[in-house]
Amino acid sequence: MQKDIFDRIIVFFEGIRQQTGEYLYFEEMPEQFEATAVPKVQKTEERTIKKAPIEAIKIEESKIVEIKQPQPVIATPTLLDEKVAPDWQQAKSLDELLNKIKDCQKCPLGITRTKFVFGEGNPNADIMVIGEAPGADEDLQGLPFVGRAGQLLTKILESVGFRRQDVFIGNINKCRPPGNRVPSKNEVEACEPFLLKQIELIKPKFILALGLTAANTLMKSNYKMGDIRGKLFNYNGIQTLVTYHPAALLRNPNWKKPVWEDMKLLRKLYDEYIEKTKKE
């Protein structure tokens, strides 16, 4: 079976799994199919179906039924069509990029979302703020960080003299995971290239990653917050800081102080950058 058809079938069943639970969904293709050229399905943290101990079961040769390759599933064009313009990577502006990707159906979140949340702000921002994924309010309005956590983010930015409209605010994932769950590995992998393209177009001098999903996705790591906040990272030449996600701050006000320190550090680094560029 062609790889792309296989991938699209996986997306189709992912959608069904989200709506019906695990019963209709297999974690991996049965081993018979793995012997073909079909690639192994990536695991996601949330699926935990264990393999049956097949080695332990002895069956007489004559009783073994040969399982044939399944026939391709004919699904509706909407579910099979990724709806992303094939040349999206050639987009020359954020508006063009948005137009090319806004109908994306590359992962099951495309089926469950209300609106695609591309991000908003200054297309030439020096600072890019990156969160995890839209929540309920963002999903309804199509805008990032407009709910309670978003209002707090606006205040946090203003506390050190940054206006929301001067930075660019985006997310790792452009569509809301149902129930605000953490996006799965497959969903992040499907969406992250769009964020990388946004970074390429905006060319920020600083990134502020909000929370561990944003930080660890960007840095391809598995850090804990205590290991990384307050430190400066070089992300492809962009000075990158990590702080607590404002939603976490709403749950735990003790983190206000570290966030305040992180924001002061960002302000200091930004002022130094402005001073330096004035001299050049």
> For ligand URA, which residue of 120, 138, 187, 262 counts as binding (CB under 6 A)?
138
Cβ-proximal residues to 264 (8 Å cutoff; 6+ apart), any chain: 160
Decide if residue 149 touches ligand URA (CB under 6 A): yes
> For ligand URA, which residue of 134, 177, 183, 204 counts as binding (CB under 6 A)?
134
User: Where does the chain have alpha helices with state H?
Assistant: 3-20, 31-34, 77-80, 94-101, 109-112, 136-141, 148-159, 185-202, 211-219, 225-228, 246-251, 256-279
Q: Which of 137, 156, 140, 159 is nearest to 148 (CA)?
A: 137
**Interface region with ligand URA, contact rule CB under 6 A, candidates 6-14, 53-61, 139-147, 229-237:** 139-147
- The site map against ligand URA for 183-222 (x = CB under 6 A) is ----------------------------------------
> For ligand URA, which residue of 120, 126, 132, 262 counts as binding (CB under 6 A)?
132
Going by their DSSP bridges, the two strands 238-243 and 168-171 should be labelled as unpaired
DSSP reduced 3-state for 120: strand
User: Which residue's CB is nearer to ligand URA, number 256 or number 268?
Assistant: 256
Cβ-proximal residues to 43 (8 Å cutoff; 6+ apart), any chain: 27, 28, 185
Read off the tokens for 193: 């290239």
In the complex, the smallest distance separating the C-beta of residue 113 from ligand URA, rounded to whole angstroms, is 12
> For ligand URA, which residue of 109, 133, 156, 199 counts as binding (CB under 6 A)?
133
Q: What is the DSSP string of 130-152?
A: EES---HHHHHHT-SS-SHHHHH
Decide if residue 121 touches ligand URA (CB under 6 A): no
In the complex, the smallest distance separating the C-beta of residue 134 from ligand URA, rounded to whole angstroms, is 5
> For ligand URA, which residue of 110, 121, 135, 177 counts as binding (CB under 6 A)?
135
Decide if residue 144 touches ligand URA (CB under 6 A): yes
User: Which residue's CB is nearer to ligand URA, number 79 or number 110?
Assistant: 110
The 206-210 sheet, strands edge to edge? 120-121, 168-171, 127-131, 206-210, 238-243, 233-235
Residues in contact with ligand URA, total (CB under 6 A)? 13
> For ligand URA, which residue of 97, 121, 171, 175 counts as binding (CB under 6 A)?
171
Positions touching ligand URA (CB under 6 A) are 131-135, 138, 144-145, 147, 149-150, 171, 247
